[in-house]
Amino acid sequence: MSRRGFLKGTGAATTVGFFAATPLSQAVASVKPASSALMGFDAIPISTSDAVTVPEGYQANVLISWGDAIKNGAPAFSQNNDSKAQEMQFGDNNDGMTFFLIDNDRAVLVVNNEYTNNEYLYPHQGKSITADDARKAQAAHGVSVIELKKNFGQWQVNLDGRLNRRVTAYTEMEMTGVAAGHDLLKTSADKSGKKILGTFNNCANGQTPWGTYLTCEENFNGYFADTKGTELGESYARYGLNTKDRGYDWYKHDARFDMGKEPNEPHRHGWVVEIDPMNPNSTPKKRSALGRFKHENAALTVNGDGHVVVYLGDDERGEHLYKFVSKNKYVEGAESNRDLLEEGTLYVAKFEGTQGELKGKGQWLELTWGKNGLTPENGFPDAASVMVFARMAATQVGATTMDRPEWVTVHPDNLSVFCTLTNNKYRGVKESQPINAVNPREKNPYGHIVRWNPTAGNHTSDTFEWDIYVIAGNPEVHKSGLMAGTDNINKDNMFNSPDGIGFDKSGRLWIQTDGKYSNKGDFAGMGNNQMLCSDPATGEIRRFLTGPIACEITGLTFSPDYKTMFVGVQHPGEDLAPSHFPEGGNAVPRSSVVMITRKDGGVIGA
């Protein structure tokens, strides 16, 4: 199949005007500098330097880095800081984030702190940790709520802000929805099954029109060990829970992370958590109605009829893409909105299509107890079990295995939805993950982005049509075939492993990468991780930002005037790679939130 051959017919779909207007096959001709009216900047080259680079006319400034004070009285950053210091400082490995405006010159930025790099968290690199070391790591996880103020036109951290808050791996939270209080969630410390300590591995995020923040728990399994070597069974294995943790060692000092002692503790993690950033005393709420899996982000939209719809990716090879539809409807300004994520229906996606066509139809399969084989005979004794073991429910109903669904984002026209499928070395390799229409490439080393249109623009519809927006690839190394990528990839915009995505209000699609940064072999010509901008009307993709050494670019939000863009630089210098970002010299590399502005004060990307 030639590179052009597999694109044939992509533009032929006739259903929603959108497909006809944006054939990928026409993007071939349109990929030229400055061809898109939507994008007013010149593409930048790749970088292997230890800096953030942006286009001509733009500037990038660090807003805050791991370990910086978020409250008055907090000590300055030092690797020697203890847990008490970390509780008053910005957490590590910032990821998804949302900017909430309070008034013209006051705002709050809510930022996920996904995990810790122990090689930098401790002066001893974490080889043997004390109880306070474990507590410090837990305090570096979670969410940072930071007030911002505008000073001479530039946003900066306000240490006096009364909303400044850290939510950590030991902040008290409430479980809500159908799984709250279920036996599966009870532990020796919490007989109610409703009072949960902490959130961790907070990957990406979402926000609601009623002003709350959604933080998504991803690789929670990595924190649990089992010192007794208990036979835990399939429901643990499916979530990657086994005898060893991923080296955090919390279980050595905190028994709830030892499944031999607390087998139900892992059931209390892997959820979406709703936080009210405007009330620093509020109790975060875990939303069991949105299912338990390795949540990437939560892309919320209000459907035309008022139902709230949340699209949710489960980032693991061969896992699935989900959709939640609220039972009740959104009413602007109503107090009842705060309970909308309490109850609703969860669905999982089944993609259909002919291999090689890169488009097709799809269905949302309902994950409701008693339906679609979700019955006691198949291991689902009640409604709570369907949510707690959502992955197994998805398999039961016949969901499509995907190439690691990361972020989902809804176009501002509310008609189309995009999801990054970051990569999958098991595609076409494991029997359970055969090549299929929507995951067309064996071992998928570069990733791709799928988009779909709900039928008739209705996000509660059970059906949709999809196409592949871009297949990342390397047309310099692979002259033809799927490894070269779709025709909107060229030598000047190559990237791999799309992960964070988001739209601005004008419909520019921003794409962030978490890929291989070797710049060699299959990845030659791609440089460090980066952020690109794309115009969905033409398919054109243009590089906008490059990150420092060994980082990932993740996390994206804007001020409401779209003149300041906040972008996350995560784990610069991971695995002891030679980065000293952002301070330079011999400084410890630190994850940071970077603010992008235009020197002429204009709208980002325009």
Binding site for ligand FEO (CB under 6 A): 114, 203, 218, 296, 315, 406
The dihedral sign for the CA sequence 431, 437, 443, 448:
negative
Torsional sign, CA 69, 74, 79, 84:
negative
Contacting residues for 555 by C-beta, under 8 A, at least 6 apart: 94, 95, 96, 97, 111, 112, 204, 500, 512, 566, 567, 568, 570, 593
The closest alpha carbon to 568, from 469, 500, 482, belongs to 500
**Nearest distance, CB of residue 579 and ligand FEO, angstroms:** 19
Nearer to Ca ion, 249 or 406 (CB): 406
- Written as one letter, the residue type at 282 is S
The residue range among 67-75, 84-92, 471-479, 492-500 that interacts with Ca ion, by the rule CB under 5 A, is 492-500
The entry of ligand FEO, Ca ion, none near residue 218 (CB within 5 to 8 angstroms by kind) is ligand FEO
Comparing CB distances to Ca ion, the nearer of 93 and 416 is: 93
Residue 532 touches which member of ligand FEO, Ca ion, none, C-beta under 5-8 Å by kind = none
Structure-token pair, residue 225: 């060990």
Q: Name the DSSP letter for residue 446.
A: S
Residue 539 is encoded by which pair of tokens? Answer: 């398919």
Backbone phi, psi, residue 102, to 5°: -100, -55
User: Judged by CB, which is closer to ligand FEO: 220, or 324?
Assistant: 220
Structure tokens at 449: 């982005």
Least CB distance from residue 284 to ligand FEO, whole Å?
19
Element (DSSP H or E) covering residue 501:
strand 498-503
Q: Is residue 499 close enough to count as binding Ca ion by CB under 5 A? A: yes
From the list Ca ion, ligand FEO, none, partner contacted by residue 403 (C-beta under 5 to 8 A by kind): none
Query: Which entry of ligand FEO, Ca ion, none binds 226, CB below 5 to 8 A by partner kind?
Result: none
Q: Kindly state the tokens that stand for 124.
A: 């001893």
CB of 438 to Ca ion, least distance (A): 19
- Say if residues 220 and 267 touch (Cβ distance below 8 Å): no
For residue 374, the partner it binds in ligand FEO, Ca ion, none, with Cβ less than 5 to 8 A by kind, is: none
Smallest separation (angstroms) from ligand FEO to the CB of 457: 29
> Using CA atoms, how far apart are residues 373 and 267, in angstroms rounded to an integer?
22
Residue 204 C-beta: closest distance to Ca ion, Å: 6
Nearer to Ca ion, 200 or 364 (CB): 200
Which of Ca ion, ligand FEO, none does 319 bind, CB closer than 5 to 8 A by kind?
none
- Min separation Cβ 551 and ligand FEO, Å: 14
Using CB positions, name the residue nearest to Ca ion. Answer: 514
What lies within 8 Å, CB to CB, of 422 at 6+ separation is 315, 403, 404, 406, 447, 497, 498, 499, 514, 515
Closest contact distance (angstroms) between CB of 142 and ligand FEO is: 14
Binding part of the chain for Ca ion, among 4-12, 376-384, 511-519, 531-539 by CB under 5 A, reads 511-519
Side-chain-side CA neighbours of residue 426 (13 Å): 12
How many CA atoms lie less than 13 Å away from 523 in the CB half-sphere?
Answer: 20
**406 vs 540, beta carbon nearer ligand FEO:** 406
**Which of the choices Ca ion, ligand FEO, none does residue 87 contact, using the CB cut-off of 5 to 8 A by kind?**
none
Q: Quote the least distance from Cβ 406 to ligand FEO, whole Å.
A: 5
Residues 381-420 that bind Ca ion (CB under 5 A): 406
Q: What are phi and psi of 502, to 5 degrees?
A: -170, 150
Q: Could you tell me which residues come within 8 angstroms of residue 454 by beta carbon, excluding any fewer than 6 positions away?
A: 415, 417, 460, 461, 463, 464
What 8-state DSSP symbol labels residue 177?
S
Count of residues near Ca ion by CB under 5 A: 3
Residue 92's binding partner out of ligand FEO, Ca ion, none, with CB under 5 to 8 Å set by partner kind? none
Query: Considering the complex, what minimum distance in angstroms separates the CB of residue 159 from ligand FEO?
Result: 29
- Which lies closer to ligand FEO via its Cβ, residue 220 or residue 257? 220
Q: Which is nearer to ligand FEO, 190 or 315 (CB)?
A: 315
For residues 293 to 332, the per-residue mask of contacts with Ca ion, x marking binding by CB under 5 A and - elsewhere, is ----------------------------------------
Q: Which among 301, 189, 280, 184 has a CA at the least distance from the CA of 239? A: 184
The nearer residue to ligand FEO, 41 or 115, going by C-beta atoms, is 115
CB of 171 to Ca ion, least distance (A): 21
Q: Which parts of 303-439 are beta strand (E)?
A: 307-314, 321-329, 344-351, 359-366, 405-410, 417-421
Q: What kind and span of H or E run contains 552?
A: strand 552-558
Q: Considering beta carbons, is residue 406 or 465 the nearer one to ligand FEO?
A: 406
Q: Sort strands 202-207 and 213-217 into parallel, antiparallel or unpaired.
A: antiparallel
Q: Which is nearer to ligand FEO, 22 or 202 (CB)?
A: 202
Residue 276 binding target from ligand FEO, Ca ion, none, CB below 5 to 8 Å by type: none
Helix spans in 223-306 (H):
234-237
Question: Which residues inside 410-469 make contact with Ca ion, applying CB under 5 A?
Answer: none
Which of 396, 420 has the CB closer to ligand FEO?
Answer: 420
Q: Of 238 and 338, which CB lies nearer to ligand FEO in the complex structure?
A: 238
The residues that touch Ca ion, with contacts defined as CB under 5 A, are: 406, 499, 514
